[in-house]
Structure 1
Amino acid sequence: MQINLIKGHGSGNDFLLIDEISNSYTFSEKERAELARVLCNRNSELGADGILFVLKSEHADGRMRVFNADGSEASMCGNGLRLVSRYICEMRGQKEAVIETMKTDLKVCKQADIFPDVTTYQVEISPVSFSLEDLPLRLNQPTLKNENIPELSEKLIFTALAVPNPHLIAIVENNQMQSDLQKNLSEKVNGPNEFFPDGVNVSFVKDIDKGNIYVRTFERGVGFTNACGTAMSASTLVTCLNGLNDFETVVNVYNNGGKVQCVVHNNSDSYHIDLIGNATYLYTASVEVELEGRNFTVTTKEELLEQTAYEQLQTEAQAFLAEAMKG
């Protein structure tokens, strides 16, 4: 089977994008999971955090399905959605669109470049739920907001929410960020455990100053990533709820892959978040895949020239972060 794809990234969170609108192929559920395991293998010529399947929608401009590198399906992916938004908008010659995702339809649009020559898209992150049933998180209470779970950590204060991916978020100090605390905690709640039967994304958040935060995420099904779009959005919301940042105001969110911007909207009894960041294409390729043999061959590959501009953004972001995280 020959498949055409685009390799791209949002904040260094990289994906292979496969178009099922313009091409004649389609895949079974088993094939989607197997393609993710085979093509995303970091020891292969491609490698990625996951695959973005772009499909026709009955009622929206396009539909996105996201499969992680381990073959599991994610209900949403903010960084991946920016790439899909760009692909759909450019395909249709539009500056805005509505993308169908697993849980809901989301508004997306092209934005002014977040950094010179860095193609930028804004995507809606919603719905937001604090109900533990939606994660799920097994505790004898309806929500978890700024509370301790002694069995997981005596020191950390957690907030749990679904956006709609499940997230466990802690605002931490430098010494906690630099320790093995996050790694050990994340591996525990993403293995057999009594609290998170389906696993959970775990984010540590460092408040830098008003309008600037640093987020590092252990993503279920992936591990530590350069960035996780829904995690950065959920983390920004948590900082607003704690008074560290303001609603309806741009927050710069720094990550190991660069930076994005988030705006949290407070609609009296509900929230939604705008996630604004790069949608960078790395290369196009064609691959010949033999799923039964779990192997593939890259038949053509064309490198694109967009990464240079993004690396300049990344350098500037890392310099700011290095200075901010001193002490």
Structure 2
Amino acid sequence: MELKLMKVHGSMNTFYLYEGADRSDYGVLAEELCRLDPEVDGLLAVLPSSSSSANARMRVFNKDGSEASMCGNGLRCVARYVCERDGLENAVIETMKANLKVEKQASDGSIAMYAVEISPVSFKLADLPMAYEGNEEWILKPLPFISETILFTAVAVPNPHLIGIVPAELQKGGAHQQKWAEFFNGPNDYFSDGVNVSYVTKAEDGIFVKTFERGVGFTNACGTAMTASALVGCLAGLVPYGDVSVFNPGGMVKCSVIKGDSGYSLQLAGNATYLSNHLFLWQESGTNSEFISSELLGEQRDYEDFILKTSTISGQFV
């Protein structure tokens, strides 16, 4: 079967995007694409929405074929695709757990920028799920079996995240983070479905975040992790509530964290970059799949100029 694919990224979190009907084997396709192209982190499937209040539906599949409930970087790319397809400035995208508002923002030079709602937000351990000594929440406290000094917070947005505030030296190389992320994403007594593990460090004019993503491994950026880390940074007093600059190995995004009477409102804003168009021959038998043709779209150079502005800060941590 021939498929028309677009290679896209948000903060260098890179995917193939495919619009079509819903299928039960998109996880298999994601594994096949990631095997053939190690640069990508997964597949974004753009589908007709089952909700009358949404313009489209998004499903997200990781490198290992597992399905994620949400992806903030991927949602920005889907937001651009749907808004441009339908001639809109804003839209609603159905995801696994919620219908989320998205909107086009003023371009940074020639870079397409989109803002997306990140919701719902829950600190209940049952919503990750996480089990630890009968606790209902875990906010800004050490996990003694890891460290007596690293403050960890567990939060679902709705993807599950464990976020530690660490000194800059623990960001270098990532060995400490990788050890515990791999532990929590293997057989363990704490996270039955695994968890995204992020380390956060105060940076000039914001925070720096590095994420080991469930089903992926270390990633250039994880949208829900960056947004959740901005929230944790505000809770810890690293940055004030409002707009937070979040630096990562793939660049920088802006996260809005608003504290209200009924909880937190979160928004993620950043690039939605189109890299290339592809015609892909998918052999559903799992053998001899191949890219038939590819066309570069020329947007990456503009993004690389953009990240030069952030490389000095990110370079302090990687």
TM-score (norm 1): 0.93
| Aligned counterpart, 1:181 | 176
Contact 2:32 2:286 in 1 (8 A): no
| Aligned counterpart, 2:140 | 146
The AA in structure 2 aligned to 1:56 is P
Is there any run of 5+ residues in structure 1 with no aligned partner, and where? 21-25
- Give CA-to-partner distance per residue, 1:92-151, whole Å, 9 cap, x none: 0001000000000000000012x3211100000010000000000012111000112223
| DSSP-derived class of the 2:111 partner | coil
Is there any run of 5+ residues in structure 2 with no aligned partner, and where? none
The AA in structure 2 aligned to 1:5 is L
| Aligned counterpart, 2:278 | 285
Where do residues 131-170 of structure 1 align in structure 2 (5 Å cutoff)?
Answer: 131-139=124-132, 140-170=134-164
Give the Cα–Cα distance (whole angstroms) in 2 for the partners of residues 267 and 184 of structure 1: 36
| DSSP-derived class of the 1:148 partner | coil
- Give CA-to-partner distance per residue, 1:175-208, whole Å, 9 cap, x none: 1222521111111111111100100000000111
Give the Cα–Cα distance (whole angstroms) in 2 for the partners of residues 226 and 11 of structure 1: 7
| Aligned counterpart, 2:41 | 49
1:269, distance to aligned residue in structure 2 (A): 2.8
Is the deviation greater in 156-165 or in 290-299?
290-299
| Aligned counterpart, 1:66 | 60
The AA in structure 2 aligned to 1:227 is A
Moved over 6 A (4+): none
| Aligned counterpart, 1:9 | 9
Superposition RMSD on alpha carbons, in Å?
Answer: 1.5
Contact 1:38 1:295 in 2 (8 A): no
Equivalent of 1:129, from 100, 122, 126?
122
| Aligned counterpart, 1:85 | 79
1:73, distance to aligned residue in structure 2 (A): 0.2
Q: 1:149 to 1:294 in 2, by over 3 A?
A: farther
Equivalent of 1:230, from 215, 224, 235?
224
Give the Cα–Cα distance (whole angstroms) in 1 for the partners of residues 84 and 22 of structure 2: 24
1:214, distance to aligned residue in structure 2 (A): 0.5
Give the Cα–Cα distance (whole angstroms) in 1 for the partners of residues 272 and 121 of structure 2: 23
- Give CA-to-partner distance per residue, 1:30-81, whole Å, 9 cap, x none: x21110110122xx25751010000111321010000001000000000000
| Count of aligned residue pairs for this structure pair | 314
| Aligned counterpart, 2:192 | 197
Contact 1:213 1:252 in 2 (8 A): yes
1:27, distance to aligned residue in structure 2 (A): 4.9
Matched, 1:270 2:263: yes
TM-score (norm 2): 0.95
Contact 1:203 1:218 in 2 (8 A): yes
| Identical-pair percentage | 48
| Aligned counterpart, 1:28 | 23
Matched, 1:255 2:248: yes
1:16, distance to aligned residue in structure 2 (A): 0.4
| DSSP-derived class of the 1:265 partner | strand
The AA in structure 1 aligned to 2:48 is K
1:216, distance to aligned residue in structure 2 (A): 0.3
- Give CA-to-partner distance per residue, 1:139-180, whole Å, 9 cap, x none: 211100011222333432200000000000011111122252
